[in-house]
Structure 1
Amino acid sequence: MTPTPVPAQAPIHAPTTPDPARETSAAAVAPDAVTSPVVTGDGSSGRSRTAHRWRRARWTVLVLAVLALVVAVLAVQRPVTSTTPFAPDNAQPNGARAVAQVLGRQGVDVRHVTHVADAVAAAGPGTTLLVTPATMLLPEQVDALAGVDADLVLLGADDALVRAATDGAVSRVPGATAAVSAVAPSCDLPLAGRAGDLSLTAGLQTEPGAAGVTLCWTVEDAGALARVPASAGDGERTVTAVDDPSFVTNGSVLADGNAALALGLLGAHDTLVWLVPDPLDISSTGENGSPSAGAGVLPPWAGVVGLWALLVVLVAAVWRARRLGPLVAEELPVVVRAAETTRGRGRLYRRTRSRGHAAAGLRAATAETVARRLGVPRSADATVLTDAVARATGRSTHDVADLLYGPPPHDDDALTELARRLDTLESEVHRS
C-alpha cells in the first residue's frame, strides 16, 4: 500500500514577545550595536575609577601644590634686609646698615661676606677687614684672620682672636663693665680726637712687656680701643680692637661721637670687607692661601635646605599619621551575600566571646521589626514599644521588656535561647 503523502505544513512562528536573554546574547555578538558603557567585574567603569582615584589623591595634590607655591614665593621674594646682628644689610637697631650706607656714599666699596675663607681671600693690602663679634671661630680660622695683609678691625672679639691678631700684646679684661658717663679719648690718635668723649666698655689691657700699643678711652688700666702696628708681608698694617661693638649699630651710632669713630675706623681705605661670621661656617685657608679641606663641606644653602627638609618630614608625618575617628566606608570589590556576612559576623562574635554585643544586635533587629509591624514610630521610647508588643501578643510587659531590654546572656546556651525566644516573639507579632 502506497503511503499517502502528507502536505507540508506552514512553519509555526513564535510569539513576537522579545526575549531578554536572546537580546543580551545578540548584543554580546554585535558590540557595535551596544551604546552602554563597558563595565568590569566589580561593577565599575573607567570614569568611575578615575573619579575614585582623584578623590583619594586630591588632598595629596593640593598639599604638593601649596608647598610648590611656598617655595616659589620664597625663591622670588627674598627679604631686602636681614636680621643678623651687626650685618651691613640689617636695618633694625642691632644692625649696621646706616654706617654701611654712609660709607658707600663716601666711595667705600663695602663687601659683605659670611665665610672666613671669602674674607681672607678678599682682604689684601690696602683694604680694611672688619670682623664683627664671633664666639664660635675654629683655631685655624682665628689664625687665618690674624694673618691677613689688610688693616684689621675687631669688634667685640674674644680673647683668643685679640691675642692672635696682636701677637699677644693685648688681651681682654674679664668682667669689664660699661662706662657710666662719657670718657675722654686720652690718646693721640686722630680718629679718637675727632670722636671726642664716648661711653664705651673699657675691656682691653696691655700685656706686660708689650710695646707700641695705644689705648684710648681708658678707665683705670683698661681701654675701650687698642691699636697695634704689625708687619704684613712687605708692608705695615694696623690691628685695631674695640671691646664694645655697639657704636656701629643703628640704635647707637648717633650717640656722642660714635659715628665719627665708626667712619674713621672703617673708611680708611677704598675697600672694606665686612665679615659677619656664619655659625655653620668651618672654612679657613691653608698655608699657601688655598681653601682648607673643610671649606666646601657646608654650602651656603645647607641650613635653609635642612630646615625645609625638616618641615617636609613633619608635614608628611602628620599627613600619614594614624587618626582615631569613625570608620570609613570602603567599596568592596565583590558583592557578599547577606547570609555569608551574617555567618562571618557570628563567627567573629563567637571568637571574641562578645555575647553581649551579639545579643544587643538581635534585640535591636527584633525591636525594629515588631515596631514597624505595629506602626510604632522610631522616636518612641522603650515603654511605648513594650506596651504595644504586650497588647499584640498577650504577654506581660515584664516578659516583653526582659526579652527586648534584659541583661546580656552569660554563655552560648543562653544566647541561643534568647535568639529562639526573640524569633517566637516576632512570629506572635506577625500573627496578631
Structure 2
Amino acid sequence: MTAPTQTTPGPTQRRSQGTVQGTVQAATAGAGSPDAVLSPVVTGDGTTGRGRTADRWRRARWTLLVLGVLALVVAVLAVQRPVTSATPYAPDNAQPNGARAVAQVLGRQGVEVRHVTRVADAVAAAGAGTTLLVTPGSLLLPEQVDALAGVDADLVLLGADDELVRAATDGSVSRTPGVAAPAFAVEPSCDLPLATRAGALALAPGLRAEPGSTDVTLCWPVDGSAALARVELPGSAGGRFVTAVDDPSFVTNGTVLDDGDAALALGLLGAQETLVWLVPDPLDTSSTGEAGAPSAGAGILPPWAGVVGLWALLVVLVAAVWRGRRLGPLVAEELPVVVRAAETTRGRGRLYRRARSRGHAAAGLRAATAETVARRLGVPRSADATALTDAVARASGRSDHDVADLLYGPPPHDDDALTELARRLDTLESEVHRS
C-alpha cells in the first residue's frame, strides 16, 4: 500500500490531534517509573461480559437471598396452615381457650352451628327460632350494640360489657365487675331447667338485677351478684330469652369437663336447631345488613383489607426509612469558573495513569477517533462496527482487518503500546480527512 502524502491538517483535525496527544501524554507520563505495573490484556474498557455479570450478581445476591427466604417462609406457612384457628372462644379453635368441643357435640346433636365474625352477618342470620351467641371480644360500636339487642333470636351473651347487657335486657340487668370466683362450686339456687341439670358450678359472678325488675332470673348467686341472668322479652314471633353469663370459661375446651360446665353449655346453646356463633372481629364496623353483604359503615372493602392496609403501612414506613438515608439525584449547577478542555483532558489522563487503566484510555481514544471519522464520512451513529469499518477502509485505502484492529482491537499492554496506538489513530484520521 502506498504511503499517504502528508498535508497540513485543518482546524478540526488539529483539535482532535491535541485531545488525543494530551490524553496520551498524561496517561504515559509515568511509563519509565519503577512502580509501573503491567495490566492483563482485557477487552474494550477493561471489563468483560462475564465480569459485569459477576459484579451484578455480587450486588444483587443478598436482595435475592432475602426475597427467596421470604417466599419460602410464605410457601411453608401456606402449606402448613392449620385447619383450626387460634381465636379465643371460636368454634373452630381446638386449643384450651377455644370452644371446638362444644361446637362439635352440638353438631352431633343436630344443631346447625354458623360461625360468623361480622355483626351484620350475625344479625341477618339470627331470626326467630334461632339462638345468637355473642362471645367476648373487642368493644362494640353503639350501633352494633343496638343491632344485637334488637334481634328476634334467643340471645346468649358471654362475658359481655355493661352497655351490651343493659341494652339486650332492656335495662333489667347490669354488671358488677370485680367479683372474684368462688373457691368452691355453688348451687344454682334457681328453677331454670338448664341450671338444675348443670348443678353446682364455680363460675365467677358479676350480674345483678336492677331495682324494680321482677322478671329477671338469677342463678349461682355469690355476694349479691349472680353468674347467670335470664330475662324473657317480647319478640316478633312471641317471647324470646336473653341470657347473660358473666364467666364465659364454661364453654372453653380447657374447662368444659369441669363440674357441670358441659351440661350448662349444651343446654344453653342447644335449645334451638340453629346456633349463630358470633366471634367479633376487632376490625369489623358493620351493624345491619344481609349476610355476607357490605352494610352501613362497613364500606366495600373485604374483611382482610384492614390487616393488609396495616401491613402496607408498615412496609411504606420501612421503605421510607431505608430510602430516606440515601442521597437524592444530582442537581445541575453552574460552574464558578470555565475549565479549559485541555485541562480536563489532561486531568482524565492523569486519573487513567494513576489507576493504570490503559484499557479505558485506549477505549476513549478509539471512541473519539470513531466519532470523528464517522462524522467525516457521513456514517450515522446507529451504524454497527462492520459498517463503520467498511467505510473507513474505503476512504483510507487500508484493509478491513487493519481498520478493525485500530478501532476495535484489544487494549495496549503497556504505555509504549498506548502511545503507538494513539499515533496510529491520528494517522488514520489524517488519511480519512484527505480522502
TM over 0.5: same fold?
yes
Question: What residue identity is the alignment partner of 1:285?
Answer: T
1:42/1:334 contact within 8 Å kept? no
Q: 1:209 aligns with which of 186, 202, 212?
A: 212
Tell me what 1:31 maps to.
none
Structure 1 201/340 Cα, relative in aligned 2: closer, same or farther at 3 Å?
A: closer
Question: What residue identity is the alignment partner of 2:225?
Answer: A
Q: 1:251 aligns with which of 250, 254, 257?
A: 254
Structure 1 54/160 Cα, relative in aligned 2: closer, same or farther at 3 Å?
A: same
Residue 175 (structure 1) aligned with residue 178 (structure 2): yes
Structure 1 48/228 Cα, relative in aligned 2: closer, same or farther at 3 Å?
A: same
Distance in 1, matches of 2:76 and 2:181, equals 44
Deviation digits for residues 81-100 of structure 1 (CA, Å, limit 9, x no counterpart):
22222111222222211111
Q: Report the alpha carbon displacement of residue 245 of structure 1 after superposing the two structures with TM.
A: 0.8
Q: 1:120 aligns with which of 119, 123, 128?
A: 123
Structure 1 309/280 Cα, relative in aligned 2: closer, same or farther at 3 Å?
A: same
Tell me what 1:103 maps to.
106
1:133/1:157 contact within 8 Å kept? yes
1:117/1:295 contact within 8 Å kept? no
Tell me what 1:151 maps to.
154
Find the residue that maps to 2:243 and give its secondary structure: strand
Tell me what 1:15 maps to.
none
Look at both structures and tell me which one has the larger radius of gyration over its CA atoms: 1
Tell me what 1:191 maps to.
194
Deviation digits for residues 396-426 of structure 1 (CA, Å, limit 9, x no counterpart):
xxxxxxxxxxxxxxxxxxxxxxxxxxxxxxx
Question: What residue identity is the alignment partner of 1:73?
Answer: V
TM-score by length of 1: 0.61
Tell me what 1:34 maps to.
none
Q: Report the alpha carbon displacement of residue 185 of structure 1 after superposing the two structures with TM.
A: 1.3
Tell me what 1:43 maps to.
46
Distance in 1, matches of 2:350 and 2:239, equals 93
Tell me what 1:140 maps to.
143
Question: What residue identity is the alignment partner of 1:302?
Answer: A
Q: 2:351 aligns with which of 332, 336, 340?
A: 336
2:216/2:230 contact within 8 Å kept? yes
Structure 1 230/98 Cα, relative in aligned 2: closer, same or farther at 3 Å?
A: same
Aligned CA RMSD, in angstroms, stands at: 3.1
Q: Report the alpha carbon displacement of residue 315 of structure 1 after superposing the two structures with TM.
A: 7.0
Distance in 1, matches of 2:316 and 2:138, equals 32
1:176/1:202 contact within 8 Å kept? yes
Deviation digits for residues 322-355 of structure 1 (CA, Å, limit 9, x no counterpart):
79xxxxxxxxx999334599xxxxxxxxxxxxxx
Distance in 1, matches of 2:108 and 2:211, equals 42
2:138/2:280 contact within 8 Å kept? no
Give the count of matched residue pairs: 294
Find the residue that maps to 1:336 and give its secondary structure: helix
Q: Report the alpha carbon displacement of residue 177 of structure 1 after superposing the two structures with TM.
A: 2.1
Aligned pairs for 1:211-360 within 5 A: 211-285=214-288, 292-296=295-299, 299-306=302-309, 308-309=311-312, 312=315, 336-338=351-353
Structure 1 338/116 Cα, relative in aligned 2: closer, same or farther at 3 Å?
A: same
1:253/1:259 contact within 8 Å kept? yes
Question: What residue identity is the alignment partner of 1:124?
Answer: G
Q: Report the alpha carbon displacement of residue 316 of structure 1 after superposing the two structures with TM.
A: 5.5
Equivalent pairs: percent with the same residue?
78
2:128/2:237 contact within 8 Å kept? no
2:152/2:237 contact within 8 Å kept? no
Q: Report the alpha carbon displacement of residue 258 of structure 1 after superposing the two structures with TM.
A: 0.7
Q: Report the alpha carbon displacement of residue 161 of structure 1 after superposing the two structures with TM.
A: 0.3
Distance in 2, matches of 1:82 and 1:131, equals 18
Q: Report the alpha carbon displacement of residue 51 of structure 1 after superposing the two structures with TM.
A: 3.2
Q: Report the alpha carbon displacement of residue 109 of structure 1 after superposing the two structures with TM.
A: 1.5
Q: Report the alpha carbon displacement of residue 273 of structure 1 after superposing the two structures with TM.
A: 1.1
Question: What residue identity is the alignment partner of 1:337?
Answer: Y
Tell me what 1:405 maps to.
none
Q: Report the alpha carbon displacement of residue 213 of structure 1 after superposing the two structures with TM.
A: 1.2
Distance in 1, matches of 2:314 and 2:45, equals 41
Distance in 2, matches of 1:264 and 1:119, equals 21
Distance in 2, matches of 1:53 and 1:119, equals 56
Q: Report the alpha carbon displacement of residue 171 of structure 1 after superposing the two structures with TM.
A: 0.8
Distance in 1, matches of 2:313 and 2:223, equals 52
TM-score by length of 2: 0.61
Which of structures 1 and 2 has the larger relative contact order (alpha carbons within 8 angstroms, sep 6+)?
2
Distance in 1, matches of 2:322 and 2:275, equals 50
Could you list the runs of 5+ residues in structure 2 that have no partner in the other structure?
A: 1-41, 327-347, 357-435
1:135/1:157 contact within 8 Å kept? no
Structure 1 302/335 Cα, relative in aligned 2: closer, same or farther at 3 Å?
A: farther
2:115/2:277 contact within 8 Å kept? yes
2:120/2:289 contact within 8 Å kept? no
Deviation digits for residues 107-139 of structure 1 (CA, Å, limit 9, x no counterpart):
212121111111111111111111011341110
Q: Report the alpha carbon displacement of residue 300 of structure 1 after superposing the two structures with TM.
A: 2.4
| Structure 1 residue runs of 4 or more that deviate by more than 4 Å after TM superposition | 310-323
Tell me what 1:60 maps to.
63
Q: Report the alpha carbon displacement of residue 181 of structure 1 after superposing the two structures with TM.
A: 1.8
Moved more, 50-59 or 237-246: 50-59
Structure 1 67/335 Cα, relative in aligned 2: closer, same or farther at 3 Å?
A: farther
Structure 1 305/286 Cα, relative in aligned 2: closer, same or farther at 3 Å?
A: closer
Q: Report the alpha carbon displacement of residue 298 of structure 1 after superposing the two structures with TM.
A: 5.7
Q: Report the alpha carbon displacement of residue 219 of structure 1 after superposing the two structures with TM.
A: 2.5
Question: What residue identity is the alignment partner of 2:352?
Answer: R
Distance in 1, matches of 2:47 and 2:140, equals 67
